[in-house]
Amino acid sequence: AIHNEVPTLELRFGRSVLNTAAAKIIRIENDEVSSELENELNILKKISKQDENLPDFIGIFGDYDSSKSARIWFIMELCHLGPITRLIKQIEKKTQLNKSDKEKLIAYSLQSTLKALKYLHQSGIMHRDVKGSHLLVTANYT
């Protein structure tokens, strides 16, 4: 079985913070998932830094904790603004978006999503779970 966590972490060199990143931590409780993880790693390495609408993959490492289960850490670009669905709701609360402005915001989000999906499909990769809560936004709105 696989269990996911996604904490935020700081990438440091000595005492200096170089960057903030997200860590997708996958707890592995059996050996059956190794090909699934290898596939995910290969996809992340293939798409990283190839399209501005896709997150950057920074690296991977693993550990074995005291509960006798392995953990794999996928270190990725932090999408500071979180899911697009939450961002749109926050904007709606803070401003009185008229219908036209809301449609423009959604159109911009959809355009970025479709560009990313086009890149994935051209690369032979199919995303099987596209939805607003999985569309994460970086600090520069990509």
Q: Are 123 and 115 in contact (CB under 8 A)?
A: no
Q: Are 60 and 41 in contact (CB under 8 A)?
A: yes
In the block, tokens 């009185």 appear at 96
Instruction: Return the active site residues.
Output: 129
CA separation, residue 89 to residues 92, 104, 111 (Å): 5, 14, 19
